[in-house]
Amino acid sequence: MNDLDWHWADDVHQHFRHFGIAQVSYVPDGGLAKLIQLCNSDETIRSVALTTEEEGVAQIAGAWLGGQRGVFLTQSGGVGNCVNMLSMVAECRIPFFAMVSMRGQWAETIPWQIPMGQATAAALEASGVIVHTAWSPQEVPEMVAACMELAFEGGRAVAVVVSQRITATGERG
Protein backbone atom coordinates (compact mmCIF):
# COMPACT_ATOMS: atom_id res chain seq x y z
CA MET A 1 0.00 0.00 0.00
CA ASN A 2 1.21 3.42 -0.95
CA ASP A 3 1.66 5.69 2.07
CA LEU A 4 -0.56 8.28 0.37
CA ASP A 5 -3.60 6.01 0.49
CA TRP A 6 -4.12 6.69 4.18
CA HIS A 7 -5.82 9.88 5.35
CA TRP A 8 -4.49 11.69 8.38
CA ALA A 9 -7.52 13.84 9.18
CA ASP A 10 -9.38 11.53 11.59
CA ASP A 11 -6.36 11.13 13.84
CA VAL A 12 -5.64 14.85 13.79
CA HIS A 13 -9.25 15.56 14.71
CA GLN A 14 -8.89 13.20 17.69
CA HIS A 15 -5.82 15.14 18.78
CA PHE A 16 -7.83 18.37 18.53
CA ARG A 17 -10.38 16.86 20.91
CA HIS A 18 -7.70 15.62 23.26
CA PHE A 19 -6.13 19.09 23.41
CA GLY A 20 -9.52 20.72 24.01
CA ILE A 21 -9.59 22.77 20.83
CA ALA A 22 -12.74 24.90 21.04
CA GLN A 23 -12.41 27.21 18.01
CA VAL A 24 -11.26 26.48 14.48
CA SER A 25 -11.04 29.19 11.82
CA TYR A 26 -10.44 28.64 8.13
CA VAL A 27 -10.90 29.76 4.58
CA PRO A 28 -12.21 26.68 2.74
CA ASP A 29 -9.42 24.70 1.19
CA GLY A 30 -9.22 21.45 -0.72
CA GLY A 31 -6.15 20.07 1.03
CA LEU A 32 -7.67 20.41 4.49
CA ALA A 33 -11.27 19.75 3.41
CA LYS A 34 -11.70 16.49 5.33
CA LEU A 35 -10.34 17.96 8.55
CA ILE A 36 -12.56 21.04 8.15
CA GLN A 37 -15.52 18.73 7.61
CA LEU A 38 -14.72 16.80 10.79
CA CYS A 39 -14.43 20.03 12.78
CA ASN A 40 -17.67 21.38 11.30
CA SER A 41 -19.59 18.34 12.46
CA ASP A 42 -18.01 18.28 15.93
CA GLU A 43 -20.28 19.92 18.50
CA THR A 44 -17.39 20.68 20.84
CA ILE A 45 -15.69 22.85 18.22
CA ARG A 46 -16.94 26.19 16.99
CA SER A 47 -15.65 26.39 13.43
CA VAL A 48 -15.70 29.71 11.63
CA ALA A 49 -15.38 30.27 7.87
CA LEU A 50 -13.53 33.50 7.17
CA THR A 51 -13.56 35.91 4.22
CA THR A 52 -9.77 36.31 4.41
CA GLU A 53 -7.10 34.47 6.34
CA GLU A 54 -5.79 37.34 8.44
CA GLU A 55 -9.11 37.37 10.28
CA GLY A 56 -8.34 33.88 11.52
CA VAL A 57 -5.08 34.86 13.19
CA ALA A 58 -6.87 37.60 15.12
CA GLN A 59 -9.73 35.28 16.05
CA ILE A 60 -7.44 32.58 17.41
CA ALA A 61 -5.54 35.21 19.42
CA GLY A 62 -8.88 36.37 20.80
CA ALA A 63 -9.83 32.79 21.64
CA TRP A 64 -6.76 32.45 23.82
CA LEU A 65 -7.43 35.84 25.44
CA GLY A 66 -10.88 34.52 26.27
CA GLY A 67 -9.54 31.31 27.76
CA GLN A 68 -10.02 28.88 24.86
CA ARG A 69 -7.68 27.10 22.52
CA GLY A 70 -8.05 27.58 18.80
CA VAL A 71 -6.53 26.28 15.60
CA PHE A 72 -6.07 28.21 12.39
CA LEU A 73 -6.29 26.31 9.08
CA THR A 74 -5.04 27.84 5.85
CA GLN A 75 -3.64 27.20 2.42
CA SER A 76 -0.09 28.38 1.81
CA GLY A 77 -1.32 31.36 -0.19
CA GLY A 78 -3.25 32.50 2.85
CA VAL A 79 -0.04 32.66 4.86
CA GLY A 80 0.93 35.60 2.68
CA ASN A 81 -2.19 37.44 3.87
CA CYS A 82 -1.42 36.96 7.56
CA VAL A 83 2.13 38.16 8.00
CA ASN A 84 1.25 41.48 9.58
CA MET A 85 -1.49 39.98 11.77
CA LEU A 86 1.03 37.48 13.10
CA SER A 87 2.86 40.40 14.71
CA MET A 88 0.18 40.38 17.41
CA VAL A 89 0.92 36.73 18.15
CA ALA A 90 4.62 37.55 18.36
CA GLU A 91 4.30 40.71 20.45
CA CYS A 92 1.87 39.17 22.94
CA ARG A 93 3.54 35.74 22.78
CA ILE A 94 0.17 34.15 22.30
CA PRO A 95 0.14 30.34 22.06
CA PHE A 96 -0.83 29.79 18.44
CA PHE A 97 -1.22 26.68 16.35
CA ALA A 98 -1.79 26.61 12.59
CA MET A 99 -1.99 23.96 9.90
CA VAL A 100 -0.97 24.98 6.41
CA SER A 101 -1.74 22.98 3.28
CA MET A 102 0.82 23.57 0.59
CA ARG A 103 0.48 24.76 -2.99
CA GLY A 104 3.28 25.79 -5.31
CA GLN A 105 5.58 23.15 -3.95
CA TRP A 106 5.26 19.51 -5.11
CA ALA A 107 4.29 18.81 -8.73
CA GLU A 108 2.45 22.14 -8.94
CA THR A 109 0.85 22.79 -12.32
CA ILE A 110 -0.20 26.42 -11.86
CA PRO A 111 2.75 28.79 -12.18
CA TRP A 112 0.99 31.53 -10.18
CA GLN A 113 1.02 29.36 -7.05
CA ILE A 114 4.75 28.89 -7.04
CA PRO A 115 6.05 32.27 -5.76
CA MET A 116 3.97 32.09 -2.57
CA GLY A 117 4.49 28.38 -2.13
CA GLN A 118 8.24 28.86 -2.20
CA ALA A 119 8.02 31.74 0.27
CA THR A 120 5.62 30.17 2.78
CA ALA A 121 8.10 28.74 5.28
CA ALA A 122 10.31 31.83 5.13
CA ALA A 123 7.33 34.12 5.71
CA LEU A 124 6.17 32.07 8.70
CA GLU A 125 9.63 31.89 10.21
CA ALA A 126 10.23 35.60 9.69
CA SER A 127 6.97 36.15 11.59
CA GLY A 128 8.30 34.17 14.53
CA VAL A 129 6.42 30.94 13.83
CA ILE A 130 8.13 27.58 14.38
CA VAL A 131 7.59 25.48 11.25
CA HIS A 132 7.43 21.69 10.90
CA THR A 133 6.74 20.12 7.50
CA ALA A 134 5.15 16.71 6.98
CA TRP A 135 5.92 14.85 3.75
CA SER A 136 4.02 11.66 4.47
CA PRO A 137 0.45 11.39 5.82
CA GLN A 138 1.61 9.02 8.56
CA GLU A 139 3.74 11.80 10.00
CA VAL A 140 0.93 14.31 10.31
CA PRO A 141 -0.96 13.27 13.46
CA GLU A 142 2.12 12.86 15.64
CA MET A 143 3.55 16.11 14.34
CA VAL A 144 0.27 17.91 15.07
CA ALA A 145 0.22 16.55 18.62
CA ALA A 146 3.84 17.52 19.24
CA CYS A 147 3.34 20.98 17.78
CA MET A 148 0.17 21.62 19.81
CA GLU A 149 2.16 20.70 22.91
CA LEU A 150 4.81 23.18 21.85
CA ALA A 151 2.20 25.83 21.15
CA PHE A 152 -0.16 25.51 24.10
CA GLU A 153 2.19 24.26 26.80
CA GLY A 154 5.39 25.86 25.55
CA GLY A 155 3.56 29.10 24.77
CA ARG A 156 4.79 29.48 21.22
CA ALA A 157 3.53 30.05 17.67
CA VAL A 158 3.83 26.82 15.71
CA ALA A 159 2.71 25.66 12.27
CA VAL A 160 2.45 22.20 10.77
CA VAL A 161 2.91 22.44 7.03
CA VAL A 162 1.18 19.60 5.17
CA SER A 163 3.15 19.18 1.98
CA GLN A 164 1.57 19.16 -1.44
CA ARG A 165 2.75 15.61 -1.82
CA ILE A 166 0.05 14.76 0.71
CA THR A 167 -2.67 17.22 -0.30
CA ALA A 168 -2.18 17.20 -4.07
CA THR A 169 -5.53 17.81 -5.70
CA GLY A 170 -4.49 17.74 -9.32
CA GLU A 171 -5.01 20.42 -11.90
CA ARG A 172 -7.54 22.66 -10.19
CA GLY A 173 -6.78 26.20 -9.02
Identify residues 36-95 at the interface with other proteins (CB under 8 A).
Answer: 36, 46, 48-52, 54-70, 77-88, 90-95
Q: What CA–CA distances, in Å, run from 155 to 81, 95, 128, 139?
A: 23, 5, 12, 23
27: left (phi over 0), alpha (psi -120 to 50) or beta: beta
CB 99 within 8 A of CB 35: yes
- Between 124 and 143, whose beta carbon lies closer to other proteins? 124
Scanning residues 92 to 111, which ones bind other proteins (CB under 8 A)? Answer: 92-95, 110-111
Site residues for other proteins, 15-34, by CB under 8 A, read 22-23, 27-30, 33
In the complex, minimum distance from the CB of residue 136 to other proteins, in angstroms, rounded to a whole number: 23
Yes or no: say if 105 and 118 are a contact pair by the CB < 8 Å rule: yes
Closest to other proteins by CB, 68 vs 138, is 68
Q: How many chain residues bind other proteins (CB under 8 A)?
A: 71
